[in-house]
Structure 1
Amino acid sequence: MTKLSDLGPPIPGKRHDGEPADEKDHFYKCKTCGQPVDMRDLRQVMWHEQPRHEQLKPEIVRRS
Structure 2
Amino acid sequence: TVCLQGGYTDETGSYSVGDFAVGTGAQQHEPIADPGEPCIALIVVEKPITLTGPWGRWLNPLVSRGII
Q: Tell whether the structures are fold-level matches, with TM greater than 0.5.
A: no
> Which structure: larger Rg?
2
More strand by proportion, 1 or 2?
Answer: 2
Question: Which one has more relative contact order, counting CA pairs under 8 Å at least 6 apart?
Answer: 1
Q: TM-score, normalised by structure 2?
A: 0.25
